Amino acid sequence: LYPHRCYNKEIFKMKPKIFISGSSGFIGFHTAKKFLDGGFKVYGFDSMNNYYDINLKKSRLKILKKYKNFIFTRGSLENENKLFDCIFKFKPQIIIHLAAQAGVRYSIKNPNTYLNSNILGTFNILKAASKIKIKHLIIGSSSSVYGANKKFPFKEIDKTDHQVSFYAATKKSTESLAHSYSALWKLPVTMLRFFTVYGPYGRPDMAYFKFTKKILANQKIDIYNKGKMYRDYTYIDDIVDGIYKLTNKFPSLNIKNKYKNDSLSPVAPFRILNIGNTKKIYLLDFINFLEKILNKKIKRNYLPMQKGDVHSTLSDSSLLKRITGYNPKTNYKTGIRKFIDWYLNFYN
């Protein structure tokens, strides 16, 4: 039934073992590297699709393959047999599910891709995790699920009924699917809602990445809603630190695990957590600092709000802090400098 050879028996002797989907993606790569540096055994699984420059994904993978404790399989989450074969034979204690089709704007033109990757792919991860009785399943969600919410900062216990993009709707759907599996099979699940993650080896479809590329090429940049918006920009090292600290803090129905304003489900070992920088950064301030550090006058093209986008995001990550001690330390100016240093070096 599972013919794919996805493992090496010799590396199964040490514990704990971590399975990371989307290991060649932006957050997945940095997360895998963090655990490998900590001496963990990591199994990476990634489709290596061409949504953006595959050479960037190959560069991330090349770094991970230097670790003797790393195994990798190229495959899609929709391929149930291949995914199950890898997970069942590796027998991880922790699964960190970060693979997903990203991008708000791309989801408007290609919704089928999001249905397959985000919903069917997550469903297959849930099935595999429940069968091997995983100790903790961490699933990447998104701040976009807050949609049209007007109350800031966003809290996990806020209602999230008004998504404004198809991408956000698929992320909200995965939260519901995960909760049902958690309730049915007592599967410990934590959903992590990421807030505008940026940094070295980032995604080229993200605004800061596109801005940098165009500014250096002396091209005009598009600024939506005339720049009148803000984001909770979160540096990648802070994100990864939060994930790392969270792995052994799995949700439980035990009342002793309750925290103030806890999002813990009353019927399942299931919790939703924001993970952001908790700082309000205005888009124009972000762009102006890019202009300063690159020492180039930016040509600006101001446009109205784009379909599917939201005006602002801001996280309340205090629940994650109470549970893990999470404390984001990187301000956006330091983070941008680190990204620019990487970008100039990587692209010569």
Instruction: Look at strands 221-224 and 300-303 and give their pairing.
Output: parallel
Q: What is the pLDDT of residue 69?
A: 96
Annotated catalytic residue: which of 146, 167, 208, 244?
Answer: 167
| Helix, coil or strand: residue 137 | strand
**Total count of residues recorded for the chain:** 348
| Max Cα distance, the chain (Å) | 60
Q: What is the pTM of this model?
A: 0.94
Helices and strands (H, E) in the chain, number of each type: 12, 13
Per the CB < 8 A criterion, the answer to whether 335 and 277 are in contact is no
Per the CB < 8 A criterion, the answer to whether 212 and 289 are in contact is no
Per the CB < 8 A criterion, the answer to whether 274 and 234 are in contact is no
Q: What is the pLDDT of residue 305?
A: 87
Strand partners, 197: 234
Q: What is the C-alpha separation between 97 and 46, in angstroms, rounded?
A: 11
Two structure tokens written together for 294: 């690159």
Q: What is the pLDDT of residue 171?
A: 95
Helix ranges (DSSP H) in the chain: 26-37, 54-64, 80-90, 104-109, 111-114, 121-131, 166-185, 207-216, 236-246, 283-294, 318-324, 332-346
Q: What is the pLDDT of residue 342?
A: 97
Beta-sheet strand order (sheet of 17-21)? 70-74, 41-46, 17-21, 94-97, 136-142, 189-194, 270-275
Q: 10-residue block means of pLDDT along the chain (348 residues)? A: 42 71 98 97 96 95 98 97 97 97 82 92 97 96 93 94 92 97 97 97 94 95 91 97 96 80 95 96 94 93 86 93 96 96 95
Strand partners, 231: 281
Q: Is 208 tagged catalytic?
A: no
Q: What is the pLDDT of residue 308?
A: 76
